[in-house]
A and B are shown apart, each in its own frame.
Chain A
Amino acid sequence: MRLKTALGNTFKTLMMVMPMLLSVIGLMGLFETLVTPEMIHSVFKGSILSDTLIGTGVGAISVGQPFLSYAIGGELLDDGVSLYAVTAFILSFVTLGLIQLPLEWSLFGTRFTVLRNMLSFIFALLISIATVFILGLIQ
């Protein structure tokens, strides 16, 4: 009986979340089609600092399977973009999600969403610096 009630409540939650979930999926489809890997390549300028910031920002607005970020990141490295920027890009690709923000906000509230995304942004930068620094020490 308790399971039946819980299933009913969970179904109601699913129905409540569904419009937002479908919107996010729809936006992903549009972004994946309209924002091409070539466009992502074109925004990197060659400066380590600005490229790392750009990498974090571009990762945050990009959508798709994680392997896509590895493939783009690998090509960016081949094109001479710094490892700082590529690390920030592949990290923010999976930790930040501009498209998912409305869903996150509706379920977790403004304060939690802002705090979590700010921390993810800052830590994408910090981790990219730390990763390159540690790799420099051990290699």
Chain B
Amino acid sequence: MSKEVQRKKPKSKSGLILLFVVGCLYLLTFYFNAKAGKEALLIAFETVKMIAPILLVVFFLMALLNTFIDSKSISRHIGKQSGVRGWMIALVGGILSHGPGYIWYPMLADLRDQGAGDGLVVAFFYTRSIKLPWLPLMISYFGLAFTVVLTLLVILSAWIQGLIVNRINT
């Protein structure tokens, strides 16, 4: 049994425990306020419906990555020593990735286990805050100048945070 499997096995129980706790919270909500409980459950179902197609894409991507790209290639392209290309992949990948961030967690964790650098993962996480489809709405609320300045600062900060994480890790 690999170290990774040994590390993940006990933690998979934490998911079941949390699911049980959340189930109890729903029961309590239904008991005290059935309307709020129904509404919360409906929002949760809508979220599942929304993320299901993206989740499928992410897991097919994971399978394809595991089939056609080995750990050495991952280390070379997005490892600690991947250079400018690695930063570009992380920053642009974060901006282009679609849907809620937590859907991408399993794939990012998988890539990290196979040699992707922590700094690049952190940078990817941060540029995910740039939501391309929502930029026009941000402009309408806060103006073009605000949106451009904030977007550029987020990209710069993502890179700086990645550098900080790499420095701390070394």
State the A residues within 8 Å of B (CB).
2-3, 6-7, 9-11, 13-14, 16-30, 32-34, 66-67, 70-71, 73-74, 77, 83, 87, 90-91, 94-95, 97, 100, 102-104, 106-108, 112, 115-116, 119-120, 123, 126-127, 130-131, 134-135, 138-139
Given A10-B62, A19-B19, CB of A26 within 8 Å of CB of B44: yes
Given A9-B66, A13-B106, CB of A106 within 8 Å of CB of B15: yes
Residues of B within 8 A of A7 (CB): 63
Min distance, Cβ A65 to any Cβ of chain B, angstroms: 8
A2 lies within 8 A of B134 (CB): no
For residues 49 through 100 of chain B, which have their beta carbon under 8 Å from a beta carbon of chain A? 51, 55, 59-60, 62-64, 66-67
B39 lies within 8 A of A33 (CB): yes
Given A2-B67, A17-B15, CB of A100 within 8 Å of CB of B102: yes
Residues of B within 8 A of A77 (CB): 142
Interface of A is mostly: helix
B157 lies within 8 A of A126 (CB): yes
Given A33-B36, A66-B131, CB of A123 within 8 Å of CB of B14: no
B146 lies within 8 A of A116 (CB): no
Interface size band for B: 35 or more
A131 lies within 8 A of B150 (CB): yes
Task: Tally A-B pairs: CB < 8 A.
Answer: 182
24 pairs of residues in contact across A and B, judged by CB atoms under 8 Å: A3-B67, A10-B60, A19-B18, A20-B19, A22-B48, A23-B21, A28-B47, A29-B47, A33-B29, A33-B40, A66-B134, A70-B137, A70-B142, A73-B142, A90-B138, A91-B154, A103-B102, A107-B105, A108-B108, A112-B121, A120-B126, A127-B154, A131-B153, A138-B145
Given contact pairs A6-B62, A6-B66, A22-B48, a sample of 20 additional A-B residue pairs in the complex whose CB atoms are under 8 Å apart = A2-B67, A7-B63, A10-B60, A13-B59, A19-B12, A20-B19, A21-B15, A23-B15, A23-B22, A25-B47, A28-B43, A28-B44, A29-B39, A29-B41, A33-B43, A74-B142, A104-B102, A119-B161, A123-B126, A123-B161
